[in-house]
């Protein structure tokens, strides 16, 4: 947050002021904030940076993109994937899907208008294309937020979000209901590996039972 505020002040009130609007969306769930990793300022402002590397020596790979308080579930899912399923998943912090989309659309427009020049690559595609495995995006917002950048994500891309009606319950119960908790992140990652032909469908089903996921529950959007 400090990086974004500093950038906004510099661009709006610095030596060469720009006509801009900056906004921040904050969560109301308190949890300890870790130290900022070195060298991630560019990624924070661009909308995405790698927060934690994948555990080494695992048979399969994946990427988890998390926003805000969903980071806690993402880190738990990373541990479960490593310990129980031989999957080494990177964890990325997605600070702005809108920024990722704006950049990608600008790059796409430039490429469209300059067909004789070497094409440029959107930031989100550039930073993720070197990795392996499915990309699972989790947020406390609706899936459409992450879907803003879906066209430029490596496939399979699986967004998880809180689509559905409001409820009054504990945060863990709500995240289980909306399928954004660590167990559903694990299941989505394994399903992505299944889509890539790396895992059997039975492996995904077994994981659902392992984490107590009732696959016959109605879609949260309908409940």
Domain 47-222, CATH:
3.40.50.920
Per-domain residue ranges for the chain?
A: 47-222
Asked whether 104 and 151 are in contact (CB, 8 A), the reply is yes
Q: How far apart are CA 162 and CA 157, in angstroms?
A: 17
Which residues does 24 contact at the CB level (< 8 Å), separation at least 6?
A: 1, 4, 5
> Per residue in 14-45, pLDDT tens?
999 999 888 888 888 888 888 899 999 999 99
> Per residue in 132-182, pLDDT tens?
999 999 999 999 999 999 999 988 999 999 998 877 789 999 999 999 999
pLDDT band at 195 (very low <50, low <70, confident <90, very high): very high
**Minimum mean pLDDT range among 74-78, 99-103, 165-169:** 165-169
The predicted model scores a pTM of 0.94
- Which segments of 71-111 are extended strands (E)? 87-94
Among the listed residues 45, 48, 50, the one whose alpha carbon sits nearest the alpha carbon of residue 22:
45
Indicate if the alpha-carbon torsion angle 55, 56, 60, 66 is positive or negative. Answer: positive
Asked whether 69 and 29 are in contact (CB, 8 A), the reply is yes
């Amino acid at each position: 947050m400090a990086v974004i505020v500093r950038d906004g002040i510099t661009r709006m009130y610095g030596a060469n002021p720009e006509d801009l609007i900056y906004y921040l969306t904050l969560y109301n769930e308190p949890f300890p904030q870790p130290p900022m990793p070195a060298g991630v300022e560019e990624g924070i402002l661009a909308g995405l940076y790698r927060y934690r590397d994948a555990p080494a020596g695992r048979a399969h790979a994946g990427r988890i993109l998390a926003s805000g308080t969903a980071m806690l579930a993402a880190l738990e899912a990373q541990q479960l994937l490593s310990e129980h399923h031989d999957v080494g998943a990177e964890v990325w912090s997605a600070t702005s899907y809108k920024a990722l989309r704006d950049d990608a659309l600008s790059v796409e427009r430039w490429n469209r208008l300059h067909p004789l020049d070497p094409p440029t690559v959107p930031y989100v595609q550039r930073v993720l294309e070197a990795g392996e495995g499915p990309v699972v995006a989790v947020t406390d917002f609706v899936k459409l937020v992450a879907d803003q950048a879906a066209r430029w994500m490596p496939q399979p891309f699986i967004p998880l979000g809180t689509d559905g009606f409001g409820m009054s319950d504990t945060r863990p119960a709500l995240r289980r209901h909306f399928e954004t908790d660590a167990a559903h992140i694990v299941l989505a990652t394994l399903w992505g590996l299944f889509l890539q032909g790396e895992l059997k469908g039975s492996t995904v089903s077994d994981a659902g039972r392992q984490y107590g996921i009732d696959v016959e529950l109605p879609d949260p959007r309908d409940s």
